[in-house]
Amino acid sequence: MDFFATIFRLALGGLLLDARVYRAQRESPTGVQRALLVVVLVGFLVGLAAWIGDIGEFLTQPDPQAVRDTLYTGLTAMPWYAQVASANPEFVAAFEQLFADPSTFTLTANLLVGALGIVLTPLLGLIGWFVGGSIAHIAARAFGGAARYPQTLACTGLAAGVNLLGLVQIVPYAEVFPGGLWLSTTLLGLLATYVAVREAHGLAPWRAFWAVLIGPLLLVVLLVALYCCVVFVFAGAVGTLAGGAGR
């Protein structure tokens, strides 16, 4: 029990940007193991909470088939339907096709995907921790940081404590304001990583700031470049096809 209490205290310290907890983590000989447990346990709990929330949503939603039938009956009974159908016969075929596709009316809560989240959330957390921690370590060393790799990982792992906010998903329909949870965890996660790098490497604030920001900036540049490549290739393919058709 004490073990879980310690891990919870560490995660909470990470969430609340407690510099003392980050410093203690840097000096701890078991820092990396403890950070690993924080990442895995917080990820598991958040995945489990989201799944429980999904079950709650599933139990309070009507059968998708019944929703589809009610919508079909209701829409076709409206005056606009008769007007549009008489003016444009193709509309009826498109309308019927839409209602024939069962995927149009699936439930928002998918219990199978939710159950997968119990495993995937800690796994993605681990990958994010290793990749993010490694990039932050390289950048921090380039900016004059003094910590060893395990010390950086020990501190950046605590930033996963921010994901405790995701426990809110245990309440069904908790994303009332879309993006609120994502924005909070992303920004607080960046701040927690900044505190982790600053405390682990003893860097000045601006150096720690750039060391943390360089990873996400590179990712954005990479994604934009990838997007441009895809658009370029797609536009080229469409152009070739159009040229071929023209000949």
Residue ranges that bind another protein, judged by CB under 8 A? 16-20, 56-63, 66-67, 70-71, 73-75, 77-80, 165, 168, 171-177, 179-181, 183-184, 187-188, 190-191, 194-195, 205-206, 209
State the alpha helices, DSSP H only, in the chain.
2-15, 19-27, 31-59, 64-76, 79-87, 89-100, 111-142, 149-158, 180-201, 205-246
Q: Can you tell me which residue has the tokens 């029990």?
A: 1
- What is the closest distance, in whole angstroms, from the C-beta atom of residue 233 to another protein in the complex? 26
Chain centroid to Cα 94, Å, comes to: 35
Q: How far is the CB of 124 from another protein (least distance, A)?
A: 20
Long-range contacts of 141-144 (CB under 8 A, 24+ apart): 141/201, 142/211, 143/201, 143/203, 143/207, 143/208, 143/210, 143/211, 144/201, 144/203, 144/207
We find the least distance from the C-beta atom of residue 18 to another protein, in angstroms, to be 7
Nearer to another protein, 36 or 194 (CB): 194
Residue among 115 and 171 whose Cβ is closer to another protein: 171
Rounded distance between C-alpha atoms, residue 41 and residue 56, angstroms: 23
- Residue with Cβ nearer another protein (63 or 96): 63
Shortest CB 20 distance to another protein, Å: 7
Tokens of 144: 């004059």
Displacement of CA 5 from its chain's centroid (Å):
26
Q: What angle do CA 20, 161, 38 make, to 5 degrees?
A: 95
Q: Which is nearer to another protein, 31 or 57 (CB)?
A: 57
Q: Based on CB atoms, which residue is closest to another protein, 41 or 54?
A: 54
CB of 27 to another protein, least distance (A): 18
Q: Which is nearer to another protein, 149 or 173 (CB)?
A: 173
Whole-angstrom distance, CA of residue 85 vs CA of residue 69: 19
Q: How far is the CB of 75 from another protein (least distance, A)?
A: 7
